[in-house]
Amino acid sequence: MQDQLCPDCASTNIIVSSAREQVICRDCGLIFAPVTHTEKKTKKKK
């Protein structure tokens, strides 16, 4: 997730909320992408 930029504020402070299955900017609070099944599998492998 570090390579991803917030489309609203361009921050790299991005988290994935597995509880809500969302991608969230920690700086501005924008929820900008649902977590796909591919992202879930990739995150579990790390």
pLDDT at 18: 82
Tell me the three-class secondary structure of 1-46, residue by residue.
Answer: CCCCCCCCCCCCCEEEECCCCEEEECCCCCEEEECCHHHHHHHHHC
Alpha carbon of 37 to those of 22, 29, 40, 42: distances in Å?
A: 12, 23, 5, 9
Could you tell me the residue ranges of all domains in the chain? 1-46
pLDDT tens for the chain, residues 1 to 46: 457 899 999 999 999 988 888 999 999 999 987 876 554 444 544 4
Q: Which CATH number fits domain 1-46: 3.40.449, 1.10.3470, 2.20.25, 3.40.50?
A: 2.20.25
